[in-house]
Amino acid sequence: MNKNVKFTLLFSLMLVFFGTLNKAQTHLKKGDMIDGIAVVVGDEIILESDIEEQANFAKQQGASVANKCEFVESIINNKLLIYEAKRDTLIENRSAAIKDQANQKYAQILGQFPDEKTMLSTYKFRTSYEMKNAIEKIDADNYYGQMKFGRITDKADVTPNEVTDFFNTFQYQLPEVKDEVSLSQIVMYPKLTDAHKDEIIARLNKIKQDILAGESFESQARIYSDDPGSAAKGGLYTNIAKGKMVKPFEAAALNLQEGEMSDPVESDFGYHLIQLVKKSGKQYDARHILLKAEPNAEEIQTAKKELDSIRTLIIDGKMSFKDAAYRFSDDKQTKFNAGIISGQDGSDKIEKLNLPPTISYQIAGHNKGDITDVFEDTAQQDRKTVAIIKIDDVIAAHKLDITTDYNRIKQMALNKKKNEMVEKWVKEKLPNVFISINDRYKDCTFKTDWRKTVTK
């Protein structure tokens, strides 16, 4: 069972952007091997540094990488998915969008540092080009690997009997679940007063007048925009697919002529000044200047009082938490699901150790059925919010059992079946794909016979 789930684990690790950012030019120590090609899959190359860094990251995440041969094989599996995905005509080529996304991520990371030199030094890159290229490569691999994995396994399913068989076979190997909780929430965005809204709109209108008077949109965006993903690029987003941006932004942008500038536009993120740069088919380029609608202390206090009155109605039995979440919560991910917060695996059970610090602090000392006092938070898209949390259940650490953890065990059984489907697909593809493995791994015993050609 462990071998069957390793590919899914390692594939998931590769999807985490920050875990692989340290793939930079590191200082070699005495005895270190100079970076070279470890494996070639079609026209995809796996470097020795790829293997070392992914292994280091896996260890940091608590995974065991004692068997390097198994680890290398998992990486080869993923690279074959990527190679075939790029040849699959039903998988959209998103190279341009991925490149733009990489530039946006670079700008977001840069916004967390005092200057570019400090950032590059921290992540061990020599130049901005190297770092952007690394981000782009990681994002591209993530996209194509996920898409091909999904295409191969999209019809996978398990029956109740298969779940039971899986549990009976592997029950003594299943992990112990740490202390967990099930939580529901009601989140509200403090509403800005009309006077505050008018003040923000007036600032944007002043910026617009300065641009019309001769200032460049790009320079004003760099100075005033609150959007970390585009401010450093003069507010520019390129190759925006229709449906990608929030509706008010897209509607305003697509109603402009090329070069034209909008009036202030309100969205969930704040207020925008938008300039359409280019429109081509289903994509467009646009610049914007964002001023976030940050509530002040008075507006936050008003929201707290409103939510506290809702909390009182729930406690007095005059309204259910579910109904209150549907009627009043501003969190779109949970309001239509009785306010239930989902964990990383999609279930309603969350390990206490994985809770955000603010929520962990707020629920401390509470029991099943309790509702916290109203508190402030900034977890929702970096916006200031007020919230209450209901503790739906408290689950002590335990071994997975089919009577209490059926859905989780079902997902494990489904993952196993998906892995088996991918393994079968790999074996069918092997005769038609050039694969070359460095002689350094000649003593490895792989589950799949990858050695069609060996290069030194």
Whether residue 206 is found in the same domain as residue 218: yes
Burial class (CB in 10 A: 0-12, 13-18, 19+), 155: exposed
What is the biggest distance separating any 2 CA atoms in the chain, rounded to whole angstroms? 75
Rounded to 5 degrees, what are φ and ψ at 147? Answer: -65, -45
pLDDT at 382: 67
Residues whose CB falls within 8 Å of the CB of residue 430, separated by 6 or more in sequence, listed in order: 448, 449, 450, 452
Q: Give pLDDT tens digits for 41-94.
A: 998 888 887 787 667 656 655 666 668 888 888 888 889 999 999 999 999 988
pLDDT at 52: 76
Whether residue 158 is found in the same domain as residue 15: yes
- What is the domain range of residue 269? 194-291
Q: Give pLDDT tens digits for 148-182.
A: 999 999 999 999 999 999 999 999 999 888 999 99
Whether residue 180 is found in the same domain as residue 323: yes
pLDDT at 78: 86
Q: Tell me if residue 399 falls in helix, strand or coil.
A: strand
Q: Which of 245, 265, 291 finishes a domain?
A: 291
Share of the chain above pLDDT 90, in %: 52
pLDDT at 326: 96
Q: Which residue has the tokens 């695996």?
A: 345
Whether residue 381 is found in the same domain as residue 301: yes
Domain total of the chain: 3
Q: Which of 105, 154, 113 minimizes the C-alpha distance to 131? A: 105
Whether residue 148 is found in the same domain as residue 182: no
Q: Which of 232, 261, 291 finishes a domain?
A: 291
Q: Give the pairing type, strands 37-41 and 270-280.
A: unpaired
Q: Give pLDDT tens digits for 398-416.
A: 999 999 889 889 999 999 9
What are all long-range contacts of 303-307, with beta carbons under 8 Å and residues at least 24 apart? Answer: 303/188, 303/189, 303/190, 303/191, 303/386, 304/374, 304/376, 304/386, 306/188, 307/186, 307/188, 307/374, 307/386, 307/387, 307/388
pTM for the predicted model, two decimal places? 0.65
Q: Give the pairing type, strands 270-280 and 265-267.
A: antiparallel
Whether residue 285 is found in the same domain as residue 368: no
Pair of tokens at residue 311: 């909390």
Pair of tokens at residue 90: 């039903």
What CATH number should be reported for the domain holding residue 236? 3.10.50.40
Which residues in the chain land under pLDDT 70?
1-35, 53-54, 56-66, 379-382, 452-456
